[in-house]
């Protein structure tokens, strides 16, 4: 799932890192990001949108919108005290990616998606778009 979190935060972290590189070592304590409701909610939403895009052949990610969300969330994470390098490390952390994929999959299944059934992911995605949810705002098509 590297694309999921990378789509949302990776681009922003890379842009910020290029604009103001820092010499600090990457953090291994993600407690502030894990405790932050906004970070968790938005990364979970991005993960859900990515899985829908991955499973449903008729729904795609709104990549430019996700970059905008990524920049905003990156600024927020910096407000928690993280550097661009630390944010990039968090986004690329395999354990965090697996954790978000598991949470997103569980949430999609709760909403009616069924493993191995592409149309059920499409139905969930369409509902998210129709209801104008955060997840739906990152999707297009039908």
Q: Categorize the per-residue pLDDT at 130 as very low, low, confident or very high, splitting at 50, 70 and 90.
A: very high
Q: State the pLDDT at residue 104.
A: 97
Name the 3-class secondary structure at 59: strand
Residue range 26-35, pLDDT digits in tens: 445 888 888 9
Determine the pLDDT at residue 29.
80
Average pLDDT of the residues in 90-113: 94
- The answer to whether 41 touches 104, Cβ cutoff 8 Å, is no
Structure confidence at residue 8 (pLDDT): 55
The residues, ordered by sequence, that sit 6+ positions from 13 with a Cβ below 8 Å of its Cβ are 70, 74, 84, 85, 87, 88, 91
Selection from 9, 110, 4, 95 nearest residue 53 by Cα: 4
Q: How far apart are CA 67 and CA 89, in angstroms?
A: 17
Q: What is d(CA 99, CA 128) in angstroms, rounded to the nearest whole number? A: 22
Give the pLDDT band (50/70/90) at residue 91.
Answer: confident
Q: What is the mean predicted confidence (pLDDT) over 12-38? A: 58
For the chain, the distance separating the N- and C-terminal CA atoms, rounded to the nearest angstrom, is: 23
Radius of gyration of the chain (CA): 15
The answer, yes or no, to whether residue 2 has pLDDT greater than 80, is: no
**Whether pLDDT at 15 is above 60:** no
User: Which whole number is the average pLDDT over 3-22?
Assistant: 43
Contact 37, 107 (CB under 8 A): no
Q: Check residue 23 and give its pLDDT.
A: 36
> Looking at residues 64-74, what average pLDDT do you find?
94
């Amino acid at each position: 799932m590297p694309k999921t979190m990378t789509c949302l935060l990776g681009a922003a972290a890379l842009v910020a890192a290029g604009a103001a590189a820092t010499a600090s070592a990457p953090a291994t304590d993600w407690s502030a990001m894990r405790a932050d409701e906004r970070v968790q909610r938005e990364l979970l939403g991005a993960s859900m949108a990515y899985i829908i895009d991955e499973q449903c052949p008729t729904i795609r990610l709104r990549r430019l919108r996700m970059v905008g969300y990524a920049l905003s969330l990156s600024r927020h994470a910096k407000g928690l005290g993280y550097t661009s390098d630390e944010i990039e490390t968090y986004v690329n952390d395999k354990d965090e990616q697996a954790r978000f994929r598991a949470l997103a999959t569980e949430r999609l299944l709760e909403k009616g998606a069924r493993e191995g059934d592409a149309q059920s992911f499409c139905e969930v995605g369409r509902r998210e778009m129709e209801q104008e949810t955060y997840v739906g705002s990152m999707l297009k098509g039908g």
